[in-house]
Amino acid sequence: MQKTAATLAELDTPCLVLDAARMRRNIARLKARLAPFGVRLRPHLKTPKCIEVARELMETPQGPATVSTLKEAEQFAAAGVKDILYAVCIAPHKLARAGRLRAAGVDLTLVVDSVPAAQAVAAHARATRDRIPALLQIASDGHRSGVRPADDLLVEIGRALQDGAELRGVMTHAGASYDLHGAAALAEIAEQERRAAVSSAERLRAAGLPCPVVSVGSTPTAHFARDLSGVSEVRAGVFVFFDLVQAGIGVCTPDDVALSVLASVIGHQKEKGWIITDAGWMAMSRDRGTAKQAVDQGYGMVCDAEGRPYADLIVADANQEHGVLALRRGSRAALPDLPVGALVRILPNHACATGAQHERYHVLDGGSNPVAEWRRFSGW
Amino acid sequence: MQKTAATLAELDTPCLVLDAARMRRNIARLKARLAPFGVRLRPHLKTPKCIEVARELMETPQGPATVSTLKEAEQFAAAGVKDILYAVCIAPHKLARAGRLRAAGVDLTLVVDSVPAAQAVAAHARATRDRIPALLQIASDGHRSGVRPADDLLVEIGRALQDGAELRGVMTHAGASYDLHGAAALAEIAEQERRAAVSSAERLRAAGLPCPVVSVGSTPTAHFARDLSGVSEVRAGVFVFFDLVQAGIGVCTPDDVALSVLASVIGHQKEKGWIITDAGWMAMSRDRGTAKQAVDQGYGMVCDAEGRPYADLIVADANQEHGVLALRRGSRAALPDLPVGALVRILPNHACATGAQHERYHVLDGGSNPVAEWRRFSGW
């Protein structure tokens, strides 16, 4: 592990730079927005995978928190987080590993959306005499997992869980919100997400089943919901850093994006208008989430080392360790003069994907020199 | 680090499985193909990033080898590799780090394609009294970096290098071969790659400059070149594992793909014909390289735990930790019955990208139980 560098120019490129001031502004914004609704924020820590960022996000050092893998649960538990929702349907052979975390004192909640999984959780609970809590995943927009609110499976799964384990509530995630744009559409899908979760909770309660937790959320819906009646907690993850996909959806602007990749210019193809850097798709990730949006940002938007965007300059193409900077098609802007060795910072399409390519954050805090290095973890 | 599991079913999913028998077959195939040409193979180790795989690939434990980052150079040097080409144009601020490897006895060769970079290398060489060798990168197909063979810059860069450093030769990479298909087109671009490198070497020699090394290569051109006269070495990387992109180009078949991601079924959306697994894009990578080919493989081709493909079953969509298996559009095959907890193995689009999402290989060697764990490294 290298020492904290005194200036960005001392860092080995490519590397990940985190603007902590922007991150804190993003966190404060969502917390302020949710405050009037009286719901808890259960931040999704799959975006940062870093304890220092988690502590900025969580209400208390013990949580609550959301994770997407048991590795995340274990890493955050080792750092003192106690209230963790593992928000991906459990595979039965992972129950022993989940059980070890619970035996160590972590209030780990699982998710199921099928009778076989509920039966496996209940059987494991009976065998280990640990009434493992689980949320029932509801499909609010049909984009991925979950049971539809009107499906009779709902009560069947709830009963299968209660046969030894604990039905703690319902959860849903409006992943389809990522394909929308603007406040009206996002408010509408947020209401659809809320209604799916609340109506499912009501059906379970009407069948005599408990349902204390009603958990909803995605970064777009969390920022645009107008009503959260009946909801007990909101999950959101990528808002902590934001990214160009979220800017394209209309949840933030590029000025809110707290994550960037520092890169060095390594060459030019002048007749083509290309500037070549050492940040290829290995550093940016292969995520091309803006390709289907109104503004395609290539593999990222290029800024100077202080974080100020160059007009119309994007990472137009990428190989493993090469990024090709070029002006957007049709742009009349001038290609900036960036000699070999010049530093640029590139805002990513998708903070979760870009972050995952790196082992640490170089943290800026109000200035343009790094003040700390925060470790990220990866794997499963 | 977990112990080597006795069976695949004991592994935590998702994880990376390497079929060492297929890997050895792939390596033997390319070595046999190149033998009659009398060229050396300088394998690109950016694909495996693993010393055990590197040793299978290299002619000797000391090399030669190609890398794409200084981290790779350092990791392989620490394991005894001495002859290393760092095949990405050097950023001047990386010269000190490169110089430390050379001071430790590694014959590290750099790459430049501009006068400023050549001047920086020469200045560093003079200052450290180390005649650093560098290859001049030639653009053989205009897809990325390099100087065109006809450009007068060629001699200018060569002379700038010789002013303290060592012009050791030329290198080129026909990256455009990835967009082609079939033997005839690949033989043609291989000849274009050869001609660009050899004619550039001849121009340098005619100007009185040395040019002992003429280095060409990519996996597709290495497998289809019909003539390598004037070439001293061939570089190729992804052939060690192969992948669905290479199968789409026509360099291999899916039966040659040595890398797969082991995943668990975690749910179903029966009315949609979806099987949900725990291998999302974090495990597969965001690489969608087959999207522009004749057969779009989604995020990968689905096989059973023994590695036998299911007819027409692909990873049709992916979220961070969710993969959605579905039949190809228009398929008449039956969706296999894969209950919650079932294991599948998924062949990746791009072995370099998928491998990079993982920390280790679980190695199969002729059977269906893992016999070893090999560590991968990442970062820069």
Question: In chain B, which residues have their Cβ closer than 8 Å to the Cβ of A142?
Answer: 269, 272
Cα–Cα separations (whole angstroms), residue A210 to A30, A168, A204, A213: 29, 7, 7, 9
Enter the pTM of the model: 0.97
Percent of chain B residues past pLDDT 70, beyond the cut: 99
Of residues B12, B272, B320, nearest to A68 (C-beta): B320
DSSP string, B97-133: HHHHHHHTT-EEEEEE-SHHHHHHHHHHHHHHT---E
- Could you say which of A114, A287, A380 has the minimum Cβ distance to residue B286? A287
CATH code: domain A254-375 is 2.40.37.20
Mean pLDDT of A235-241: 98
Q: What is the mean pLDDT of chain B?
A: 97
Contact of B197 with B216, CB cutoff 8 Å:
yes
Of 3.40.50.1820, 3.90.320.10, 3.20.20.10, 3.40.630.30, which CATH number belongs to A22-241? 3.20.20.10
Residue A194, classed as helix, strand or coil, is helix
- Chain B residues closer than 8 Å to A319 by CB: 144, 175
Query: Is the pLDDT score of A1 beyond 50?
Result: no
pLDDT classification of B357: cutoffs 50, 70, 90: very high
B21-241 CATH: 3.20.20.10
B14 close contact with A: CB closer than 8 A: yes
Which residue, B262, B278, B178, is CA-closest to B221? B178
A362 interface with B at CB cutoff 8 Å: no
Mutation for testing the B interface, residue in A7, A88, A265, A350 having most B CBs under 10 Å: A88
Contact list, B94 vs chain A (CB under 8 Å): 12, 264
Q: What is the pLDDT of residue B1?
A: 42
Q: What is the pLDDT of residues B285-338, one digit of tens each?
A: 999 999 999 999 999 999 999 999 999 999 999 999 999 999 999 999 999 999
Q: Residue A307: how many CA atoms within 13 Å on its side-chain side?
A: 21
How far from the centroid of its chain's Cα atoms is residue A186's Cα? Answer: 17
Average pLDDT over residues B156-172: 98
CB contacts < 8 A (A, B): 154
CA distance A176 to B255: 36
Measure the CA–CA gap between B377 and B19, rounded to whole angstroms: 19
What pLDDT, in 10s, does the model give residues A309-337? Answer: 999 999 999 999 999 999 999 999 999 99
Q: Report ipTM for this prediction.
A: 0.97
Q: Is A89 on the interface with B (CB under 8 A)?
A: yes
Residue in B closest to A96 by C-alpha: B12
Tens digit of pLDDT for each residue in A223-232?
Answer: 999 999 999 9
Domain residue spans of chain A: 22-241, 254-375
**Token couple for A311:** 């007009």
Cβ contacts (< 8 Å) between A270 and chain B: which residues? none
Residue % of chain B over a pLDDT of 90: 96
Between CA A265 and CA A370 the distance in angstroms is 20
What residue type is assigned to position A196 of the chain?
A
How long is chain B?
380
User: Residue A145 above 70 pLDDT?
Assistant: yes
B31 near A CB under 8 A: no
Look at B91 and A15 and tell me if their CB atoms are within 8 Å.
no
Q: What are the C-alpha distances in Å from B275 to residues B265, B269, B313, B323, B342?
A: 7, 6, 10, 8, 11
Q: How far is B70 from chain A (nearest CA, A)?
A: 10
Residue A147 forms contact with B (CB below 8 Å): no
How many percent of chain A have pLDDT more than 70? 99
Q: With an 8 Å Cβ cutoff, is A14 touching chain B?
A: yes
The backbone torsions φ and ψ at residue B132, rounded to the nearest 5 degrees and listed phi first, read -55, 130
Residue to substitute from A2, A15, A45, A89, interface B, most B β-carbons within 10 A: A89
The answer for A97, left when phi > 0, alpha when psi is -120 to 50, beta otherwise, is alpha
Name the packing angle between helices A153-162 and A183-206 (round to 10°).
60
Cβ-defined contact of B145 to A266 (cutoff 8 Å): yes
Query: Is A7 within 8 Å of chain B by CB?
Result: no
- Give the one of A144, A324, A358 whose C-beta lies nearest to B144's C-beta: A324
Residue that has been written with the tokens 């671009």 in this structure: B189
The answer to whether residue B288 neighbours chain A at the CB level (below 8 Å) is yes
CB nearest B145 (choices: A9, A70, A322): A322
Q: What's the token pair of residue A344? A: 């640029």
Helices A115-128 and A153-162, interaxial angle, to 10°?
A: 10
B285: distance to nearest CA of chain A, Å?
Answer: 7
